[in-house]
Amino acid sequence: MLAYKTWLDTRWRFLIGFGLLTIIAFGTVFNYPTVQRLIPAAEKLDTTGPLSQMIKDAVELQRTFRGFVWSQWVSQNFSQLWTLFAILLGSGGLLSQASGGPAQFMLSLPVSRNQVLWSRVMMSLGELLAMALLPFLLIPLCAPAVGQSYSVADSLIHGACMFTAGTVFFSLAIFLSTLFADIWRPLLITCTVAVLLGVAERVVGVGLFEVMRAESYFRGSAVPWAGLLTSGTISAALLYGASMNFARQDF
C-alpha cells in the first residue's frame, strides 16, 4: 500500500517527464539529416572572434552522428529536462500534507517515518533511472532509420552517469522538502542551485554537469569515476540528512 500511494503521488511527474524525453530523443534522431544539409551553409558564415570559433567547433562536433547526439541530446535537451524532472520528483509531498489527508493516513499505518520517506525516495529513484536509460536506448534503436548507428554501450554509460551524478539535485530537493512544507521553496532553491552550478561550470570549465554529461568519456578519455563517486557521496549525505529531519518532525 505504501509503494502504491507513493506511485500515485509521483506518477504524473514521471509520466510527463518520460514522455517528453522519449519524444525529444525520437526527434533528435530524425533531425540529423536536416542538420547535415545545413552544415555546408554554416561553414560559409563570415564571422570573426569567439563566435567564429564556437560555430566551427559546433560544426565539427556534429559532422558525426555520435557527436550530433552528444551535442544536441546529451548536452542540451537530455541533461536540462532530466535535471528539471529530478527536482520536480524530489520537491514537496512530505510535509505539505502531513497535517491531514492521505499523508496523515500513511503516518497512521504501522510503519516508521523513515519507511514513508524511503518509499518515496526509492520509487522516485526508480522513475529517474527509467527516464535516464529508456529514452536514451531509443536512439540506437532508431538510428538505422536515418542510415546511422549508435552504440548501446554509449547510451547506457551516458544514462548511468546522468542518473548517478544528477541524483544530487533530487536529493537536495528531498532534503529541502523535509524543511519546508510547500513545494515551491524546495523547487525554486534547487533550481537556483542548478543554475548557479551551470554558470560556475562555464567559468571554471569543470563541474557537476560535466560529470552528468560524461564529457570525458565522450572525448575519448574515461568514465568520470571520481566525479560519480563524489556526487554519489553528496546524494547519500543529503538523503541521510533528510531522513534525520523527517524523523524529528512533530506531526
Confidence of residue 100 (pLDDT cuts 50, 70, 90): very low
At residue 99, the pLDDT reads 44
**H/E run at residue 11:** helix 2-43
Q: What is the pLDDT of residues 122-160, one digit of tens each?
A: 999 999 999 999 999 999 999 999 999 999 999 999 999
12 falls in which pLDDT band (50, 70, 90)?
A: very high
Are the C-beta atoms of residues 92 and 182 closer than 8 Å to each other? yes
Distance in Å from the first CA to the final CA of the chain: 21
What gap in Å lies between CA 5 and CA 7, rounded to an integer? 5
**Residue 101 confidence (pLDDT):** 44
3-state SS, residue 220: coil
Whether pTM > 0.85 for this model: the answer is: yes
What DSSP string describes 26-63?
Answer: HHHHHHHHHHHHHHHHHHT----THHHHHHHHHHHHTT
Do 13 and 87 contact (CB within 8 A), yes or no? no
Type of residue numbered 141: L
Instruction: Please write the tens of the pLDDT for every residue from 205-231.
Output: 789 999 999 999 998 889 999 999 999
